[in-house]
Structure formats: structure tokens, C-alpha cells
Structure 1
Amino acid sequence: MIKKIRLHSTMPFYLLFIAGIVDAIGFIHLKNGLFISFMSGNTTHVGILLTSGNVPQAWHYIGVILLFVFGAAVGEAIALSNRPFYRSTIMALVSAVLIITLCVEPIYSPIVTNFLLSFAMGVQNIALRLTIEKATALTYVTGFLVNTGRSIAMLLMGKGTSSTFFRHFNSWLAIFIGAIVGTHVMDYSFRYALVVPIVLTLIASGILFWTHEVEDD
């Protein structure tokens, strides 16, 4: 059981690593500055595009935001069911959506694949929604950096711990390294690159199934 608890505690960093890969793949695939899971940047882009009169392009960003929110809603609905295997079920759904994306990519335009990827990342945000910070979404990178800064200040003031600092910093580092990996795999092709997060999410689903009895922090 101790081994399961330790493995479970590393899952947020693993999922952040996957999110970084997928975000980089989607960003490079569409080539227009649209992020898969960075909704702050997408929201800013919507405001800029609507102000400049580029409404058709703005709808691409709006669509990604809406599907991300819908994915989070679906993931939360699964979590609220209180089933023992809700985490592994959520990650299995993420894997399924990524596989569907791989299948439809040759048929539909790139924006459709990015819509699907954004939905998948919205779902994944709920997989371990209580294991990082109860009020922090999985891909809220700004939050990790803010908390890193706060933990530095607390250390300097003698009120914090190094473990808290490294937890926040490593959360940011995981998605950063994932983005590097995602960029490298896109040197080959979108279809080849997408196989990487599919395999990683399937592994995550298996691990979460095995550690299903571990309680959230």
C-alpha cells in the first residue's frame, strides 16, 4: 500500500508532462497561436481577434475554450459519481478521445483535431483534481509559478518548507519538459507524435486503476 501511495503522489507530475506534450503538439499542428489547454492565452486572443474584426478566427478560439470547459464538466461528472475507479475511467476516456483524434486527422481539418485535443485536456484536468491543490487546475501553469514565488517568500521568511517549493516548481517543470518532448516528436508527423500521449495516458489509466483505493490528499 505504501508503494501505491508513493506512486499515486507522482501522478500529477506525470499528467502535467502529458499535458505539456499534447499542448505542444496541438500548437505546432495548427500553426496559428491556438493552445490546447492554456485558456488564459486563448481568452486573450479572443479579445484581440474580436476587437480587430477577425470574427471567423475568433470562433476557433471560442470553440477550443468551450470544448475545454465541456471536457472538464464531463470529467467532473464522472468524478462526482464517486465510483472507485473514477480516476482510471477519466484517463481511459482521455485515451479514447486521443485515439479518435488520430483516426479522424486525415479526414478533417486541423481545427477539428485541436477541438478534440482540447476536450481531452479538459477531461484530464479532473483526473487528480485534489492531489495537487484543491483549487488549482492541472494545467494552470500560472498558478504553479505564483505558488512557486509564494513558497520562495515563505522560505525566506522562515514560514515555509522546501518540499512545498519543490512541489510547485516541479509541477511547472513537468509541463515545461512535456512541451519540449512534444516539440521534438512533432519533427516527424502529427500522427506519429500523437501516439506518444496515447501510450502515456493508457499507462496512466492502468496505474490509476491499480491505485484506486488511495485517498486524495
Structure 2
Amino acid sequence: MDNSVIKTNPTISSDSIKMQERLAIFLALIAGYIDATGLIQWKTYVSFMSGNTTSLGAALSTGKYGIIITSITVISCFLIGIYAGTCLSLWKRIKNQILTFYLVSGIVIFYSIIDYFYDINNLLSIAVVGFSMGMMNTIVTSVGNQKVNTDFVTGTLNSLARNTAMLNMTKDKDEKEEYKSNAVHLLLLWIGFLSGAFIAPFLLDYFGKWTLMIPALLLMICGILISKINTKN
């Protein structure tokens, strides 16, 4: 069966699925916010690697070396971020993903403070933020057994359309409920990303170089709250 449409494992509790969904939407909103900020400030996507790959291909054929360097930098750092985040998630000493919250938040906070006082150049900014976005993309990779990506929307929209099509085509009642649930999760994820991108320009005008402190602090607070919830349980 295609990985974009997988039936939910009955052993996964509804409470866990709801927590995953809310967290995925929150992270998608953060990703949309940071991606829009990167596009406005540096004319580069820091999480949408499909767009950067297209830009890289076009730049290679036209000899636009500035775009080539920028695209290779952000794509490489994003991949390294995913690699690092995945290694952390598989590390036996790490019981949950809370550390990744703190690391991403800490990197962005540290970057914002340094950039405020020393004006970091665009290429280094793209590298740091791209790496952070790659790490953040590894925090939530599924809602139930539905695979999701919180940092980019092409796969989300593809899975949304597929689940919607299967919802309309199947006659099985249980399958209809499953596909409907998946479609709702994916739609909310897309809306979360869109909302973050919508908000970013307004807050960028108001906060300037401190604008990335907002998602960084939200990630920090979210990590603390989840840590407390896990402790109680």
C-alpha cells in the first residue's frame, strides 16, 4: 500500500493521535512563518526544498552563480538538519523529542541575538535557519499512521488529494472513516502552514530582526509543556 494512505493502527490511542495532530499543526504554522520570513528577507525558501531545487536547476543552466551557491547551501543544511534530528530521535538515550524542541529553539534564539548586534550575512543566515528547519521536520513525522511533513506542503497536498479520492471511491464504512480522518488531518496541516506564512509579513514589519524570536520562544514553551505532560503520565 502507498505510504501516503495507511490505515491507523488500532493500538494508537485517540488521545495520542489528537496530540500528534495538534503538534503537527503547530509545527506547520511555525514552519510557514519561518519560510515566509526567509523568502521575504533572503529571497530563499528555508523549508520548501522543491522550490530551491527548481531554482538550482534553472540557475545551473543560466549561470547565475549567486542562486546556485544559495540553493546548494540551504538544501545541504536542510538535509544535515534532518540527518541530525533523525539521529537524535534514534538515539537510545533520548526518550522523546523534547531535546529537538530545545535545540531548534536555542539555535534560532542564539542566531537572532547575534544577528541583532553583528548583522549576519545572508548565506550564513540561510544555512543556520535551513539547518534548524531540517531538524524541526523530524519532530512529528506522522499523525496516527498517516505520514506527514510539517515543513513543506507538496507531499501534504498530494496525500490530501489521494485520501479524498479514496474516500469518495471506497464503499467500506471503516475505510471511509479512515480516509476522512486522514484528509482532515492533512487539510488542517496545510491550513497551519498557510496561516504561518500569512502572519509572517505583518510581524516582520513590527519586530524586524527579532521576528524569529517569536517561533523560537513558542517552540521552547511547547517543549516545556509537553515535558510536563510526559512527566505527569
**What is the TM-score of this pair, normalised by structure 1?**
0.87
Superposition pairs of residues 1-217 of structure 1, within 5 angstroms: 5=16, 6-30=18-42, 32=43, 34-106=44-116, 107=118, 108-131=120-143, 135-158=147-170, 159-161=175-177, 162-212=180-230
**Displacement of 1:10:** 1.3
Change (3 A) 1:50 1:133: farther
**Displacement of 1:207:** 2.9
Change (3 A) 1:50 1:193: same
**Displacement of 1:132:** 6.3
Change (3 A) 1:167 1:131: closer
Cα displacement string for residues 101-145 of structure 1 (whole angstroms, at most 9, x for unaligned residues): 102224221332222111110000111224466654332311111
**2:63 partner SS:** coil
Residues 78, 86 of structure 1: 8 Å contact kept: no
Q: Which amino acid aligns with 2:182?
A: T
Change (3 A) 1:82 1:213: farther
Residues 140, 148 of structure 2: 8 Å contact kept: no
Q: Please report the RMSD computed on the Cα atoms of aligned residues, expressed in angstroms.
A: 2.3
Structure 1 residues without counterparts, runs of 5 or longer: none
Separation in 2 of the partners of 1:27 and 1:15? 18
Cα displacement string for residues 156-205 of structure 1 (whole angstroms, at most 9, x for unaligned residues): 21353322211111111110111111122112243231121011111221
Change (3 A) 1:72 1:213: farther
Q: May I ask how many residue pairs the two structures share in their alignment?
A: 211
Quote the sequence identity (%): 26
Change (3 A) 1:84 1:7: same
Separation in 2 of the partners of 1:117 and 1:133? 29
Separation in 1 of the partners of 2:141 and 2:165? 26
Separation in 1 of the partners of 2:143 and 2:154? 18
After TM superposition, the runs of 4+ consecutive aligned structure 1 residues lying more than 6 A away are: none
**1:35 partner SS:** coil
Change (3 A) 1:76 1:119: same
**What is the TM-score of this pair, normalised by structure 2?**
0.82
Pick the structure with greater CA Rg.
2
**1:50 partner SS:** helix
Cα displacement string for residues 70-128 of structure 1 (whole angstroms, at most 9, x for unaligned residues): 11111111101134543110010000110121022242213322221111100001112
Change (3 A) 1:23 1:152: same
Separation in 2 of the partners of 1:83 and 1:36? 30
Q: Which amino acid aligns with 2:161?
A: G
